[in-house]
Amino acid sequence: GAVVSQHPSWVICKSGTSVKIECRSLDFQATTMFWYRQFPKQSLMLMATSNEGSKATYEQGVEKDKFLINHASLTLSTLTVTSAHPEDSSFYICSAKDGDQPQHFGDGTRLSIL
Amino acid sequence: GENVEQHPSTLSVQEGDSAVIKCTYSDSASNYFPWYKQELGKRPQLIIDIRSNVGEKKDQRIAVTLNKTAKHFSLHITETQPEDSAVYFCAASKGTYKYIFGTGTRLKVLA
């Protein structure tokens, strides 16, 4: 149980394009979803927290107009990196949880901007 | 701000030996402490967690201890195996809401 699916797993695109990443909870309802960014050999840095039907709460230093988050249902959240540039290249991981249960992570998306 | 320090950053042990990773948190209101194992390019996987109302929890070869007074908690892996090689992250949170992750420990188990 507690499976989180994240797509795509890997994306390469040109600078200036927008990229959408999906995070789905497959066998539970995710009241809260989280988006993290992880640079090579570094820890997971929380970008934003989203609750179903509410606006996302962004961490300090994260541009909300750059990283658009939508949590339209209890099983789906999306992260859109708008007008992506090479410095946005990173490993993005989502997690989801139901109520007081632990967070369960997706497989991550490796984003490369050329 | 809230902070979790994790040591060591790298750890090499011989197969069969024990490994210990330590974390210290700053927010005394933290009451939930999960440990995640992450293999290269894969998702972090929860391996054990502990809540602040207990001092120790064990699951087969893995155990976690918590010292609330000192605000530190540790992961203990006994009888290490090569497949234990990975990066381990500790985290602290209030409830299970917002995790503050440690910087990670790269564990290598030498056969």
Distance (Å) from the alpha carbon of B91 to chain A's nearest alpha carbon: 10
- Residue B97's pLDDT is 81
Strands B86-92 vs B32-38: parallel, antiparallel or unpaired: antiparallel
pLDDT tens digits, B19-44: 999 999 999 999 999 999 999 888 99
The residues on A that touch B, with CB distances below 8 Å, are 4, 32, 34, 41-46, 49, 91, 93, 97, 100-108, 110
* Pairwise CA distance, residues B57 & A57, whole Å: 33
pLDDT tens digits, A85-114: 999 999 999 999 998 888 999 999 999 999
In chain B the beta strands, taken as DSSP E runs, fall at 4-7, 10-14, 19-25, 32-38, 45-51, 56-59, 62-67, 72-77, 86-92, 100-101, 105-110
Pick from B34, B20, B55: nearest CA to B97: B34
Determine, for residues B46 and A32 on separate chains, whether the beta-carbon distance falls below 8 Å: no
Q: What chain A residue is nearest to B44 in terms of C-alpha separation? A: A105
Encoding tokens for residue A74?
């209890």
* Pairwise CA distance, residues B8 & A10, whole Å: 31
- The one-character DSSP state at B52 is T
- Across the A:B interface, residue pairs with CB atoms under 8 Å apart total 50
pLDDT tens digits, B70-97: 999 999 999 999 999 999 999 999 887 8
Encoding tokens for residue B101?
């992750």
* Pairwise CA distance, residues B60 & B77, whole Å: 9
Determine, for residues A102 and B49 on separate chains, whether the beta-carbon distance falls below 8 Å: yes
* Residue among B46, B100, B103 whose CB faces A102 most closely: B46
